[in-house]
Amino acid sequence: MEKSKQYKILFRYFGISAFILILCCLVIGKMIIVSTIENKHWEEKAAKLKRCNVEIAPLRGNILSANDEILASTVPQYQLFFDFRTEGIKADTLYKYVKPLAKALSLKLKDKKAETYEKDILKAYKNKKGRFRISNIWVSYLDYQEIKEFPYINKGVNKSGFFVEKRIIRKKPFGAVASRTIGKLDDTIGVYGIEQAYNTELKGTPGVADLEKIRRVMVERTKIEAIPGQDIRTTIDVQIQSITEQALLNKLKEVDADVGAAIVMEVATGEVRAIANYQRKNQGKYVEARNNAIADMVEPGSTFKTVAVMAVLDEGIATSEEIFDTGNGVYPYTKGKHTRYINDWNKHRGGYGPITLAQAIHYSSNIGIAKAVLKGYENNQKGFIEKLKEMGVCDSVDLKMAGQAYPKIPHPDTFRGWNFTTLPWMSFGYNVQIPPIYTLMFYNAIANNGKMLAPIFVSDIIKNGEVVKHIDAKVVREQICKPQTLKEVRKMLTGVVKSGTAKNLLSPYVTIAGKTGTAQMSQGGAGYKSGETTHRVSFCGYFPDNENPKYSCIVVVTRPRGVYPSAGAISGEVVKKIAEQMYAQGYLGLKPPYNTDSIHSLLPDIKRGLAKSTISACDSLLIPYDGDYITEDINCLQSNVSNNKIDFVVEQNDSIGLPSVIGMGLKDALYTLERLGLTVYVKGKGVVTEQDPVAYSKYEKGDKVIINLQ
């Protein structure tokens, strides 16, 4: 009996061993067949599933603001798929988790209802789709990481069939802010702006990898790591940029202009803090289609008078107090048999008569400036151009921006159209073409004690968080004129705002100096007098107007309509808005221009409103108030100015009837009434002047209340 059991055990043992041996032989045999007879077939098949030495695009560097906010960044996006041919998928698992998965996808992506997701997924599973797109939405990396943890998907690729396709896109978190200056990409190449100028630094170094298809998913096997691009820190300040864009856009809409450009530059560094460009397109919409501030060749008009006067003063041709007779506003300039008339803008009022050279700048007299220039250069016209070169006016600088324009100053020896009128007309801004940024560069030098700096848009190149290259502005001229000349010119520019053509720029908050400029636009070959008369108005200057101005600014507006083309009222007003907003935001480092005894006159009138909102607004704006007695149960506040602060009058009327909303704005009035369950009907706009039923009346939930606003 014992032997019989032993034989059975031995038989089983040898049987199992024989089976394993045969199986091993079959495996070894198959391996030999695959590696010899079928080798070529499988190598060809594997080659079709593999791509060798594929270039892997590096992550493009970020473009940053001066304060390191991201202006442009390369980010990955993912599109979501299921491969329902995956062998590891189990039907019962899918059916168990499809409802919570559909709900999670619907809540996250918000493009379809949960029921639709569930229906689409089950239909794709039944049809064994190998490439079922879960949603048309491309998701961010963080969203992708979150979705990977959703029910069913979190079972893994082999059990769920979930996979993604990846793309790299360039995003601008601040939207269109300074978009022409930041630039644009064509695939991976910058085509203009900083994207183009610093493409080499931004693009990085490509890597190399083999791509192999495994379980219908391309797997990347890196051979050489891609090196990410470097980051570029620009000089753009997002807050100043926003202030500049809004001020310019508002004025363009107001005057129905065709084109507007504005630049704000830091005086001491040459760093451009803001640059805005708008053109009116179809249906009156303004877009940033061209970098007009650096690319437009424009006749600067009267802003060039400052250049002419500086040349005259610096050469000792005239003094700021020398008298020039402008007559009745019309000066017949005669050379031989030819006469051309130089007109002042106020000729219809009889002109200015005898005025000083300083007043010629203050009042923007074409005649006064032309006579001063002709006094010194009529018989030495080359000398005037040579003086402009000496002052840096003719210099071209590399702004590293595609499409940038350069100053075009005619010379008697090379300009075929030079005639007896070229010099006098040049003195007040015609016959020359200067991009707005070059005009600003000159005025910035005046503010910078005579030192001319080339404007810059980029300050640092950064790698792995460390600055690898700092960029300073190039010095174009150490000194554009003699110190005494500079002192006189700055005094004149102060006078333009205090008593001249830019008096509307006087502000209780910030002092501004500069020069207005109005130029009639040439109609090409037809000249200046053919068809409609159009103008380009500008203001260029600096602020605050003290010993060390901090910012220079130029605003140019082309073809304003329906208004008198006043440079001070149009372009100057934009500069004033920018300066005052920058003052309010603390950029100028100035103390309030008032004493504490008069502070109550500057405190705002505060409408009746909700206590919480009113207190929050006062705290945000640093408005002083007495709030020790204000508690959570207080509903409405009414205010008076008392003892240099806001004195609130507390109202607690909910308990005694219908609340009073008289004096409130619409938002507060609606909140106050609707939170009590009342139905509100609104008439008019402004603040509430009447309510029906009247305050403190009895009411019930659902009652109708009519409020009139004026």
CATH number at 212 reads: 3.90.1310.10
Q: What is the pLDDT of residue 675?
A: 74
Q: What is the pLDDT of residue 567?
A: 93
Q: Examine the domain organization and report whether 418 and 455 are in the same domain.
A: yes
Q: How confident is the model over 290-311, as a mean pLDDT? A: 94
Tell me: cis bond preceding 354? Omega within 30 of 0 counts: no
* Boundary-marking domain end, from 219, 234, 249: 234
* Boundary-marking domain end, from 584, 614, 643: 584
For the ranges 366-380, 385-399, 668-682, the lowest mean pLDDT is seen at 668-682
Q: What is the pLDDT of residue 354?
A: 95
Q: Are 554 and 543 in contact (CB under 8 A)?
A: no
Residue 108 per-residue DSSP state? H
For the stretch 332-337, contacts whose Cβ atoms lie closer than 8 Å and that sit 24 or more positions apart, written own/partner, are 333/370, 333/374, 333/420, 333/421, 333/424, 335/420, 336/420
In a domain, 488, yes or no: yes
Q: Examine the domain organization and report whether 252 and 400 are in the same domain.
A: yes
Q: Could you give the angle at which helices 483-499 and 305-314 cross, rounded to 10 degrees? A: 140
- Secondary structure element (H or E) that encloses residue 23, with its range: helix 2-35
How far apart, in whole angstroms, are the C-alpha atoms of residue 212 and residue 209?
A: 10
In a domain, 77, yes or no: yes
Q: Examine the domain organization and report whether 72 and 6 are in the same domain.
A: no
In a domain, 145, yes or no: yes
Q: Are 513 and 501 in contact (CB under 8 A)?
A: no
Overall size of the chain counted in residues: 710
Q: Examine the domain organization and report whether 625 and 550 are in the same domain.
A: no
The answer for residues whose C-beta is within 8 angstroms of residue 275's C-beta and 6 or more apart is 178, 180, 181, 236, 241, 244, 261, 262, 263, 264, 291, 293, 294, 457
**For residue range 27-74, what is the model confidence (pLDDT) as tens digits?**
777 777 766 776 666 556 555 556 677 777 788 899 999 999 989 888
In a domain, 589, yes or no: no
Q: What is the pLDDT of residue 597?
A: 42
Q: Is 197 exposed, middle or buried (0-12, 13-18, 19+ CB in 10 A)?
A: buried
Higher pLDDT, 142 or 626: 142
Q: Examine the domain organization and report whether 458 and 572 are in the same domain.
A: yes
CA distances from 595 to 386, 474, 592, 598 (A): 50, 42, 8, 6
Q: Examine the domain organization and report whether 486 and 371 are in the same domain.
A: yes
At residue 625, does pLDDT exceed 50?
yes
Q: How confident is the model over 87-99, as a mean pLDDT? A: 91
Name the residue with tokens 């491309």.
138
Q: What is the pLDDT of residue 59?
A: 83
472 CA to centre of own chain: 22
In a domain, 246, yes or no: yes
For the ranges 15-19, 282-286, 364-368, the lowest mean pLDDT is seen at 15-19
Amino acid identity, residue 305? K
In sign, the C-alpha dihedral spanning 524, 368, 487, 583 is negative
**For residue range 208-226, what is the model confidence (pLDDT) as tens digits?**
877 666 555 556 667 788 8
At residue 9, does pLDDT exceed 90?
no
Which among 553, 568, 543 is positioned nearest to 437, based on CA atoms? 553
Q: What is the pLDDT of residue 121?
A: 93
How far apart, in whole angstroms, are the C-alpha atoms of residue 624 and residue 632?
A: 20
Q: What is the pLDDT of residue 292?
A: 93
In a domain, 590, yes or no: no
Q: Examine the domain organization and report whether 150 and 89 are in the same domain.
A: yes
Q: Examine the domain organization and report whether 71 and 209 are in the same domain.
A: yes
Q: What is the pLDDT of residue 601?
A: 45
pLDDT band at 633 (very low <50, low <70, confident <90, very high): very low
Kindly state the tokens that stand for 558: 């082309």
Q: How confident is the model over 307-336, as a mean pLDDT? A: 95
Q: How confident is the model over 149-153, as a mean pLDDT? A: 93
In a domain, 591, yes or no: no
Q: Examine the domain organization and report whether 320 and 388 are in the same domain.
A: yes
Q: How confident is the model over 598-622, as a mean pLDDT? A: 60
Which among 692, 622, 558, 646 is positioned nearest to 257, based on CA atoms? 558
Q: Are 350 and 329 in contact (CB under 8 A)?
A: yes
Q: What is the pLDDT of residue 256?
A: 92
Q: Examine the domain organization and report whether 304 and 377 are in the same domain.
A: yes
How far apart, in whole angstroms, are the C-alpha atoms of residue 611 and residue 671?
A: 12
Q: What is the pLDDT of residue 86?
A: 86
Share of the chain above pLDDT 70, in %: 84
At residue 312, does pLDDT exceed 50?
yes
Higher pLDDT, 229 or 220: 229
**For residue range 329-345, what is the model confidence (pLDDT) as tens digits?**
999 999 888 899 999 99
**For residue range 101-125, what is the model confidence (pLDDT) as tens digits?**
999 999 999 899 999 999 999 999 9
In a domain, 212, yes or no: yes
Q: Are 401 and 378 in contact (CB under 8 A)?
A: no
Q: What is the pLDDT of residue 230?
A: 93
Q: How confident is the model over 250-269, as a mean pLDDT? A: 95
Name the residue with tokens 């300066």.
579
Q: What is the mean pLDDT of the chain?
A: 85
* Boundary-marking domain end, from 201, 234, 267: 234
At residue 598, does pLDDT exceed 50?
no
Kindly state the tokens that stand for 464: 């792995």
Q: Examine the domain organization and report whether 621 and 479 are in the same domain.
A: no
Q: Examine the domain organization and report whether 132 and 211 are in the same domain.
A: yes
Range of the domain at 160: 54-234
pLDDT band at 266 (very low <50, low <70, confident <90, very high): very high
Pairing of strands 162-171, 70-82: antiparallel
For the ranges 53-62, 385-394, 444-453, 497-506, the lowest mean pLDDT is seen at 53-62
Give how many domains the chain has, as a whole number: 4
How far apart, in whole angstroms, are the C-alpha atoms of residue 233 and residue 457?
A: 9
Which among 408, 393, 396 is positioned nearest to 311, based on CA atoms? 393
Q: How confident is the model over 605-628, as a mean pLDDT? A: 65
Pairing of strands 679-684, 704-709: parallel
- Secondary structure element (H or E) that encloses residue 311, with its range: helix 305-314
